[in-house]
Structure 1
Amino acid sequence: MSKNEQAYLDLCKQILDKGTKKDDRTGTGTYSIFGAQMRFNLQEGFPLLTTKKVNFKLIATELIWFIRGDTNIQYLLKNNNNIWNEWAFKRWVESDEYTGPDMTDFGNRSLADEAFNQLYQAEMKSFKERIIADDEFAKKYGELGPVYGKQWRDWRTSTNETIDQLKNVIEQIKTNPDSRRHIVTAWNPEDVPKNMALPPCHALYQFYVADGKLSCQLYQRSADVFLGVPFNIASYALLTHLIAHECGLEVGEFVHTLGDAHIYSNHVEQIKEQLSRESLPLPSLEINPELKSVFDVELSDITLNNYQSHPAIKAPIAV
């Protein structure tokens, strides 16, 4: 059993055993703990969960989207990545221009009502097709606001200048590796109450160089442990690999620190099913040796080797 994956499974058990039942923004309800930490030794394998299948291509294309500073789902949809659709779709169906069937609480209703689910799937399909084909529609309804990519690459200052945090941090790692200021933050208090589809959950990350290895610590204010956290673990592990590759370093640890770590009430049975499974050996990651800059990365530059897992487990997303 992988020690890396066990850190995640132990967190799931802790929340089920000791979590406080709480209401939340989505109205779904959660079991929650406050303040948790997992550590993943990236030398021991790439931390993609094996107790359920996790789609690595979705993780990689989303990270590339962040790195490019993009905030529109059109790029994601063109790469068959649907993980941000619900937030953009919610904006569309709540707009004055939308004239289709009532889509209120579409996430939960689509699971409970097959007739409604067929309507929802048809509306979502039409929405996605239009985002891909119609640049003007995509500009208006595919845009998620100043979310992660915007803050990482184009932080707007009070004097209307911009800061490319990610580019600056990579340069600092190369030129001043012992600095304690290798930090990128997505939590912009000015932008949070504005038109963000979702205020950043993974809010701040810091890099650390020691013994020729690059480590990363993420602070995540809000953590959907069943659906979101497996993606977050793999995404920041991949980011660490990519930056280490550019900077000529080995990888060290990924440290994942969580604020409100929660399991949604409609994910409990899925978590229990996952906990009943034995973990498998972790895969390894290979990066194209010809890749010189993280800002030039394409999906074809990243190879996941020897990934084996138990089947995927479906669960509704809380929007």
Structure 2
Amino acid sequence: MIPGPHYEQQYLDLMRHIWMHGDERVDRTGVGTRAVFGATMRFDLADNAIPLLTTKRVFWKTATREMLWFLTGDTNIRSLVKQKVHIWTDWPLDKYRKETGDNIDRETFEQRIIEDDMFAEQWGDLGPVYGKQWVNWPRYTPAGEGFFRREDKGINQIELLIDGLKNNPGSRRHIFTGWNVAELDQMALPPCHKTYQFYVANGKLSALLYQRSCDLGLGFAFNVYSAALLLRMIAQQCDLEPGELVWNGGDVHLYLNHAKLVEEQLSRQPSGKPKLNILRKPKSIFEYAITDFEVLDYTPQSHISAPVAV
């Protein structure tokens, strides 16, 4: 039997297409991009497969820690930087520099976030980003005379999703989203991976992620791994086998200052079939720890660095 193309080839083909034929645009960051609108990739997660890119190293433990942080509902970078996870620091650091005029370096800023409670509270919060909407979507109840009162405890979309998958697997409403229109202007960054939908068939759980905006050079590697990780966790909680991850991108782009990254990555050939093992089944989706996961057979090529557009 002739093996099919490597799962990563569809990613490289899309990267090449965008770099060669994408629409050149001025974007929010001022850096500029080449972009296409509307793209789809599919990844089979059978046999513990996990879609880690192999043409460059993806720091899967960092992405896992971020996903576990989302599920806590926390919106402050403090717990992340304590774990040496820096992927959200650039946004509050940029805000701090602009508002204070203090051109502090990242290391010093993060150290103050860790050591100073008041500083962390004032400058470390990202607003009601992903996790807040996932597990604590605001709930309001009538308070008389046309007024509404915000409840202390919001709607836990993840909890409702898992309950629905267990008790009504054929439903077409297995959806959660981070796109809370009323709170977008309070977020450091509106959700890019914004809406997830799940589907059960033949004892398998599949998911579709709609990503409104995708930095294909940097962000995608984390996004696709994290979505597959979340699918695997939810499948385990629901006693289902992992099926397929379908990734849909809206504005899919490469930054113009990522030329070295693009050219180097396109010169490489994907190889290998990494696997993700979940070593323990906690009582709930909210009780996983970083030690519950291991990745095997992952031998990527070297990391390719590139600047993040803030």
Q: What's the TM-score once normalised by structure 1's chain length?
A: 0.90
What do residues 232-281 of structure 1 show as CA deviations (whole Å, max 9, x unaligned)?
A: 00000000000101111110011110000000001122112101111111
Q: Which residue of 2 aligns with 1:274?
A: 265
1:309 paired residue number: 300
How far did 1:2 drift? 5.4
Q: Distance in 2 between matches of 1:3 and 1:156?
A: 42
In structure 1, which of residues 100, 121, 125 is the aligned counterpart of residue 107 of structure 2?
125
Structure 2: distance between partners of 1:165 and 1:202:
15
Higher deviation after alignment, 161-170 or 225-234:
161-170
Shift of 1:231: 0.5
- 2:95 match: 91
* Unmatched segments (≥5 aa) in structure 2: 142-149
Match of 1:174 among 142, 166, 187: 166
CA distance in structure 2 between the aligned counterparts of 1:67 and 1:91, rounded to whole angstroms: 25
Query: Could you tell me how far apart the structure 1 residues matched to 2:307 and 2:281 are?
Result: 40
% identical aligned pairs: 47
What amino acid is aligned across from residue 317 of structure 1 in structure 2? Answer: V
Match of 1:197 in 2: 188
- SS at the partner of 2:257? helix
1:234 to 2:216 alignment: no
- Which TM-score applies when normalising by structure 2? 0.93
CA contact (8 A) 2:236 2:281 kept: no
Please list the CA deviations of residues 189-224 of structure 1 after superposition, one character each: whole Å capped at 9, or x if unmatched: 10012x210011111111111111111111111100
The answer to whether the 8 A contact 1:291-1:301 is kept is no
- Does 2:149 match 1:146? no
Using the TM superposition, give the Cα deviation of residue 290 of structure 1 relative to its aligned residue in structure 2, in angstroms: 3.9
Alpha-carbon RMSD: 1.3
- Give the one of 2, 7, 11 matched to 1:4: 7
* Partner Cα distance (1:67, 1:289) in 2: 17
Aligned positions, number: 296
Q: Which residue does the alignment assign to 1:53?
A: 57
Q: 2:178 maps to what in 1?
A: 186
Letter paired with 1:180: R
Give matches, 1:208-219, under 5 Å: 208-219=199-210
Partner of 1:165: 157
Q: Call closer, same or farther: CA 1:94–1:221 in 2, change over 3 Å.
A: same
